[in-house]
Amino acid sequence: MFGFFCKRIATALPRGFLADANRGWWLFFALFACCTLDQRAVAEPNREILVLLSGTQGYYRQVARDLSAYLDTDHPDVRGHTAMANATLPHLDNHALVVAIGTRAAATALTTFPSNPLLALFVTEASWKQLSIQNPAIDRKRAVIFIDQPVARFIYLAEILAPGTPTISAVLGPSSKAAKSQLVRTSEKHGVSLLLKDIDHQSNPLAILTPLIESSDVFVALPDEAVLSRSVAQWALHLGFKRKVPIIGFSRSYTDAGAAASLHTSPEDIARQGRAWLKTYLKSSPTVRWEEFSPQFFSITINASVAGILNLPVRDEKKIHQQLKILERGEQQP
Amino acid sequence: MIPVHQTRGIRLLPILAIVLIPSTIAAQPPHFTEEDLLQDITVVSAVSSFEQRLEQAPASATVISRELIERSGAQNFVDIFRLVPGFQAYHVNNNRFGISYHGIGREFPNQMEVMVDGRSVYETLFSTISWGTLGIELTDIDYIEVVRGSNAAAQGSNAFLGSINIVTRKPVQDGGLGLYATVGDLQTRNTHLRYSDTLGLLDYRLTLGYQRNNGFPATPEGPLEDGRELGHANFRGTYTPTVQDTLEFYLGHAHDRLGWGDADHPDEFSLAHSSYNFQSLKWSRNGANSNDYQLHAYHNSFRTQNYVEIGVLYNLLGVDKPTADFIGSLDPIPSDIVGLFSQITGLSAETTTALLEQLHTTVLGGFGDLESERFDLEFSHRFRLSDSFRGTWGAGARYDSFSSYHPQSFTADVDESSYRLYNHNEWRAHEHLIVNAGAMVEDTHVGTLLSPRFSLNVLLSPQQTVRASYARGNRAPSLLEANENNFNHVGGVVYDILRIADPELMEEKLESFEIAYLHQSALPGLSYDLRFFREKVTEVIDEITDYTPPEVAALGDKKLKRVLNGGFWRISGAEFQLNYHLTENTFLRAHYTYADLVAGQLPDLIPGAWYLPKDNRMATHSGGLLISQRLDEHWLLSASAYHQSGLRFEDGDDISAYTRIDAQLSYHFNLGRSRGSISLVAQNLGSDYAEFSDNNVFEQRFFLSANLAFPD
C-alpha cells in the first residue's frame, strides 16, 4: 500500500519538486501521516459481530449472553447479531467477526462465512483439528479457545486430593490418548506414579478398570467420546466408591453422579476468556492473536458427601482452585 | 508364475476391500466434541423409562437412597414406604404387607406395579406383591425409585396408580464378605451374608438369608400364628464384554413358611408354604449419539400351598357322631331321613342325599395349591433425535399362567399372552419449557388398552420447576380377578360360596391430573416438592355382595361375592416432601399428604345390593418427620415420627389415628480392614396402636442389629 501510494504521489508531482530539501521533509511527513492513516484503516476492526450458537442448550446460551452483555456495555457501537447455526443466517460484511460457540457453529462459520475472521469458543481440540482439516485456513484469521482442560491440571488436582506421592491412574481412549505424553511428562516432573491403560470400544471395561483402580490412590477420568466416557464413568464411580479411591471427573455432571471432584471449563470460564480476546480485538490492538488457546480459566466442583466419605484432606472448592493455580504457576516458572 | 492360491487371493482383494472399507470407516472414532464433555450422567429412569432429572420428568418421583434406608432404621418394606408421601403401608399380618399408593387400603392392594431391577414382581396369584418372597434383603438395595402418580404410560397396566423400581446393588459396588444379624422382639432372628467377588470376567454378588419371627403378640381371643420362617438366595452377575455392552444375570430363590389368616379370627390362622424363584437376563448396549438398546428376558415362578383341616362334615352340620355313623351305615339312605335334612338345609333331595353320603369327609379350608408363572421379553431403544428431542420406545411380550387346585374349592388352570408397545418423548420446546408425551398400548385378554400421559414442565429458574401433567391409565384384570370361581364343596355339594368373577369383567379406568412445584435450592442439600392431584377411577374391580345368588345352592348364609366393575373412587389432595442436609452431619426429611377420598360401589349392578360408601378407606392426613444426626465418625442418632389419621381398611377394621415414634442409635467401627456397625432400633416408643386389624397390635419393639464387612 505504502509503495503504491508513493508511486502515485511521485508521478503526480511536477518535475523538480522533490529537489527542494524542505519540500522533501514536508513530503516525507505527509507520506508518513498517510501511511499511518492507512495502517489505522487496515487495523481498525469491522464493528459488526455475529455470535453463532450451536444449539439451544443452556451452556451455549450462557456464553452468548455473557458476550452480548459485554458488547452492549463496553462497545455499544458494535453491530451485533445472534443466530443459531441451523437457522437462517444474516448477511455479513466480509470483514465482520464471527464468534462461533460450539462445534456445529464453528463448522457453519467455516463453510458459510469462509472469508470472515473467526473466533471459535467451546470446541474441543480434537473437533477443531478435524474442522481445520476439512476447512484449511487460506489467508483467513482464526482464533480458537478450547474447552478441554490441559491434562496437567488433572494431575495437579490429583496431587491436591491425594497428597504425597500418589499413584494416579487413568484410561486412555481414542481421543484422550493424544494426551499421553503430556501426562507422562507432568507426572515425572512431579514425582507421582502414573498407571495408564488403553481402552477402546472392544475392551472389557471392568477387566481394565478393576485392577487399575485397585492399584491407585486417585483415578482420573479423562474426557473421551461419550460412549466410552459413559461406560468408564459408570464402572469407575462404583469401583472408586467401593475401594475408597477418589475419582476425578471432567464435568459438573460427573461430580453430581459421584465423582469426588471434577475439573472442567464452565460457560463462565469460556466467556471470560472470550471477553478478554474480544477486548483486545475491538481495541484494534496489534497484539490480538489469531491462534489456538487452551482454556485459561477452570472450575472445580466437589461432591461434598463423597469427599466426606473418602475423608479428602481439602474439600473447599475455592481453596482447591487456589492451590491448583499455585501449582500451575510454579510449573510455568523456569 | 503366480501360484493358484495367490491368484485367488489377489482376486479376493477388491471384494475384501469393499467389505472392509465400511468397517474401517465405521471404526474411525467420531470426533470428540463439547457434547461428549457436557453429557449428563444421571440416574432416575423409572418415570419415563429413560434417564431424566426430576425437574424434567413427567410425574412426581421420590428416590429412596440407601443412605435414607440406613438412617431410618427400617426393618422391612413397610417401614421404608412410610417415608414416602401418599403411601399407605401396613401389616395385614405381621409378615404380610399391604403397600399401596393412594386408593383403597385393602388386604391385597392391586393397583401399583413393583419392579426389582426392571423385573415385574406383581403376582397374578393374589393380584398384588408378595413382599416377603422378593428374595432380597434391604442391604441388597442401592436405591428405590418411586413414581407417585399413574405410570401406566411407561410401565403398563399394573402401574395404574404408581410404580416402584427397586434397584439392587451391582456386584462391583461391594467387595468381599458381609455378615449381618438382627435379633429383637417377636423372637426376631434374622441373618444374612453377602459375598461379592470375581469369577473370571464375571463380577458377582451372592446373598443368602434367613429370617424368623413369631409375629404379632397374642390377642385376648388367642395367639396370632402369623410368624415366619424364610430362607432365600439371590445371585447377581455382571459381565462387560465390551465398553458398549453389559450383560447382567439375576437368579433367586425364596422359601417361605408363613402364618396366614384374618387377624379378626385368630383361631383360623394356618401355615402357607411358598416358594418363589426367578431368572433374569439383561443385555444393554450403549450406542453412539445416545442410542441405547436393551433386551430383557425374565421368568418368575411362584408356588404356594395352604390347607386347613376345618373338621369332619357332620360336625360342621351339627350332627353328632353316632347319628352320622348310623346314617353312614344306611344304603340307600331312606327318603324320610333325606326329606328331614332337605327341610333343614333347604337343599334339594338329590343334593341332600349326596351330602349325607359325605358326612365323614374331612372338610379342608385354605387356598389349596396355587401356582403362577410369568415369562417376559422386552426390547427397548432410547434415542436422541436432536439437542432438544429425545425419547424411548419399546415392545414386549408376556406370558402369564395361573393354576389353582383345591379338592374342595377353587380349581382353575388359565393362561394369557399379552403384548405391549410404548413410546415416550421429551421435547425441550424452549429454554424454560419441557414437553413430555408418551403412551403405552397393551393387547390384553380384555382388549387393546391405551394409556397416554402428557406433561408440561416450566423451568422458572435453575432451582424452580412447575409441572402440569395429565394421564389416563387402564388396568386389565389379573388372571385371578378374571377367572375366580371360588366356592367350597364336598362330594359335589356346594356348602359355601365365596367369590365369582363376572365373565364380562373389563379394565379399570383412571384419569389423573396434577400440578406440582419442585424446588432445588441454591442452598446445598435442600430440595422439596409440592404436588396437587386429582384422580378419578371408574370401573373399579370390586367385590359386591349378592344376597340372592341364582346359580348355586349352598348351606350357610348363601352370600356370594361377585367380582365385577362395580366400584369407583375420586381422590384429590396434596403431597409435600422435603429433604434437607442442614449440615454435613445433620439430615432432615419431612413429608405430608392430605387426601380427600370419595369412593363407593354401584349397587344397581346386582339386585338387592345396596350402596356401600368407602370414603374412609384412605387416611385423610398422613406424614412423617425424620431427623438424623451424625455425632462423630462413630455414632449416628436418628429419630422419626409418623402420623396417620384413622381409616377403615377394606377387608380389615376401623383403625384409629396414631402417631408412632422410632429411634435408632448406631455405632460404626473399623476392625483392621473390616468395617462394621451395631445399631439399636426402637420402634413405636409411644403407646400401642393397631394396623389393618384391631388385633394387629403394634407394641414397642426393639431390635439389635450388627454387621461386619470383610473387604476382598
Q: pLDDT digits over B668-687, tens only?
A: 999 988 999 999 999 999 99
Residue B355's pLDDT is 83
List residues bridging with B163 in a β-sheet.
Answer: B113, B147
Query: How far apart (Å, rounded) are the C-alpha atoms in residues A46 and B700?
Result: 81
pLDDT number for residue A29: 56
- Cα Rg of chain B, angstroms: 29
Q: Bigger pLDDT: B174 or B705?
A: B705
Confidence tier at B27 by pLDDT (50, 70, 90):
very low
Q: Quick one: DSSP state of residue A287? A: T
pLDDT band, residue A206 (cuts 50/70/90): very high
Region B679-703: what's the mean pLDDT? 96
Which has more confidence, B24 or A56? Answer: A56
Q: What is the pLDDT of residues A175-198, one digit of tens each?
A: 899 889 999 999 998 889 999 999
Distances in whole angstroms, Cα of residue A321 to Cα of each of A151, A331, B595? 15, 15, 50
State the virtual CA torsion across B136, B139, B145, B149 in degrees, nearest 10. Answer: 70
The answer on pLDDT for A39 being more than 50 is no
B248 touches chain A (CB under 8 A): no
Which among B28, B35, B38, B459 is the top mutation candidate for probing chain A, defined by the most A β-carbons within 10 Å of its own β-carbon?
A: B38
Tens of pLDDT along B337-393? 889 888 887 778 888 888 888 889 998 889 999 999 999 999 999 998 887 899 999
Distance CA A318, CA A261 (A): 12
Say if residue B223's pLDDT is above 50.
yes
Nearest CB neighbour to A227, from listed B43, B175, B286: B286
State yes or no: pLDDT of B46 exceeds 70: no
User: How far apart are the CA of B232 and the nearest CA of chain A, in angstroms?
Assistant: 25
Interface with chain B: mutation pick from A61, A133, A151, A242, highest number of B CBs within 10 Å:
A242
Of chain B residues 556-575, which have a CB less than 8 A from chain A? none
- B356 CB neighbour count, 10 Å cutoff: 23
Residue entry with cell 470426533: B31
The per-residue pLDDT for A312 is 85
The verdict on B198 touching A (C-beta cutoff 8 Å) is: yes
High-pLDDT (> 90) share of chain A, %: 49
The percent of residues in chain B predicted with pLDDT above 70, rounded, is: 92
Highest mean pLDDT among B99-103, B669-673, B704-708: B704-708
Q: Which residues of A touch B584 (CB under 8 A)?
A: 304, 308
What distance in Å separates residue A58's CA from the closest CA in chain B? Answer: 7
- Please, what sign has the CA dihedral across residues B606, B607, B608, B611? positive
Any bridge partners for residue B383, and if so which? B391
Residue in A57, A201, A239 nearest the CB of B172: A239
Q: Which is nearest to B407 in space by CA: B367, B347, B373, B360?
A: B367
pTM, entire model: 0.85
* A-proximal residues of B, 415-454, CB under 8 Å: 428, 430-431
Cβ-Cβ contacts under 8 Å, B387 against chain A? 55-57
DSSP string, B205-265: EEEEEEEEE--SPPBTTB-----EEEEEEEEEEEE-SSSSEEEEEEEEEEEEEEEE--TT-
pLDDT mean across residues, chain A: 84
Task: Give yes or no for B240 touching A (CB within 8 A).
Answer: yes
DSSP string, B316-374: HTT--HHHHHHHHH-SSPPHHHHHHHHHHH---HHHHHHHHTTTTPEEEEEEEEEEEEE
Q: What is the C-alpha R_g of chain A?
A: 26
The reply to whether residue B41 touches residue A230, judged by beta carbons under 8 angstroms, is yes
pLDDT in the model for residue A37: 45
Contact B201 A206 (CB under 8 A): yes
The values of phi and psi at residue A186, to 5°, are: -65, -45
Rounded CA gap, A15 and B425, in Å? 83
Phi, psi (rounded to 5 degrees) for A34: -60, -45
Size of interface A-B (CB pairs under 8 A): 138
What percent of chain B shows pLDDT beyond 90? 66
Per-residue model confidence (pLDDT) at position B104: 87
Distances A56 to A86, A105, B388 between C-alpha atoms, Å: 10, 12, 8
| Mean of pLDDT values over B108-114 | 92
Residues in chain B: 712
The distance between the two most distant Cα atoms of chain A, rounded to a whole number of Å, is 93
Q: Using alpha carbons only, give the angle A232, A234, A239 rounded to the nearest 5 degrees.
A: 85
| Cα separation, A235 vs B198, whole angstroms | 14
For β-strands A97-101 and A118-123, DSSP reports them as parallel
Contact state of A206 with B172 under an 8 Å Cβ cutoff: yes
Half-sphere exposure of B621 (CA within 13 A, CB side): 7
Neighbours of B589 (CB within 10 A): 20
With the CA atoms of B309, B313, B317 and B321 taken in that order, what torsion angle do they form, in degrees rounded to the nearest 10?
-110
Q: What was the pLDDT predicted at A1?
A: 42
State yes or no: pLDDT of B419 exceeds 50: yes
The answer to whether residue A43 scores a pLDDT higher than 70 is no
Closest CB to B36 among A205, A225, A254: A225
Look at residue A113 and tell me whether its pLDDT is greater than 80. yes
User: First-to-last CA distance in chain B?
Assistant: 64
Closest of B413, B301, B313, B399 to residue B368, by C-alpha: B413
Q: Any chain A CB within 8 A of the CB of B70?
A: no
Identify whether the C-beta of residue B522 lies closer than 8 Å to the C-beta of residue B547. Answer: no
pLDDT at A332: 66
Q: Do residue A242 and residue B173 have CB atoms under 8 angstroms apart?
A: yes
Decide if A242 and B172 are in contact by the 8 Å CB cutoff.
yes
**Per-position DSSP letters for B549-573, written without gaps between them:** -SS---STT--EEEEEEEEEEEEEE
Does any CB of chain A come closer than 8 Å to the CB of residue B32? yes
pLDDT of residue B5: 37
Taking CA–CA distances from A176, the nearest residue in chain B reads B32
Region B185-192: mean pLDDT is: 97
Q: What digits encode the pLDDT tens for the residues B64-80?
A: 988 899 999 999 999 99
A138-156 mean pLDDT: 90
Write the DSSP symbol of residue A109. H
Give the residue on B whose Cα is nearest the Cα of A207.
B201
CA distance B5 to chain A (A): 33
Average confidence (pLDDT) over B404-414: 92
Which helix (H) or strand (E) segment holds residue B293: the answer is: strand B292-312
Query: What was the pLDDT predicted at A257?
Result: 84
User: Is the predicted pLDDT of residue B510 greater than 80, yes or no?
Assistant: yes
pLDDT of residue B40: 57
The cell 451424625 sits on which residue?
Answer: B630
* Mean pLDDT value of segment B168-174: 90
Q: Using the beta-carbon criterion (under 8 Å), do B29 and A210 form an inter-chain contact?
A: no
Q: Is B288 on the interface with A (CB under 8 A)?
A: yes
Bridge partners, A99 (sequence order): A51, A119
pLDDT at A31 over 90: no
Shortest Cα distance from A103 to chain B (angstroms)? 7
**How deeply is A202 buried, as exposed, middle or buried, from its count of CB atoms within 10 A (0-12, 13-18, 19+)?**
exposed
Indicate yes or no: CB of A205 within 8 angstroms of CB of B33. Answer: no
Q: What is the pLDDT of residue B710?
A: 93
Nearest Cα to Cα of residue A183 among A165, A167, A196, A197:
A196
pLDDT tens-digit map of B575-588:
999 999 898 789 99
| A58 pLDDT tier (thresholds 50, 70, 90) | confident
Chain B residue whose CA is closest to A303: B524
Chain A residue nearest residue B171, CA to CA: A238
Is A14 a residue whose pLDDT tops 60? no
Name chain A contacts of B435, Cβ cutoff 8 Å: none
**How would residue B306 be classed by pLDDT, with cut points 50, 70 and 90?**
very high
The strand ranges marked E within A108-241 are 118-123, 142-146, 167-172, 193-198, 218-220
> Which chain A residue shows the shortest CA-CA distance from B170?
A238
Residues of A in contact with B43 (CB under 8 A): 257
A-interface mutation test, from B37, B167, B289, B459, most A Cβ less than 10 A away = B37
- Contact: B29, A174; criterion CB under 8 Å: yes
* Extended beta strands in B387-492, E state: 389-405, 412-430, 433-444, 447-459, 464-475, 485-490
> What was the pLDDT predicted at B24?
32
- Confidence label for A310 from pLDDT (cuts 50, 70 and 90): confident
Q: In this structure, which amino acid lies at residue B590?
A: A
Residue B633 pLDDT: 87
Grid coordinates representing B579?
Answer: 429433604
pLDDT of residue B12: 33
**pLDDT above 80 for A84:** yes
Interface test with B, best of A122, A147, A154, A230 (most B CBs within 10 A): A230
Q: Is the pLDDT of residue B201 over 60?
A: yes
**A75-84, B267-276, B565-574: least confident range:** A75-84
SS3 sequence of B652-699: CCEECCEEEEEEEEEEEEEECCEEEEEEEEEECCCCCEEECEEEEEEC
Q: What ipTM does the predicted assembly reach?
A: 0.75
Provide the pLDDT for residue B11: 35
> Considering chain B, what is the average pLDDT of its residues?
88
**Residue A117 in this model has a pLDDT that exceeds 80:** yes
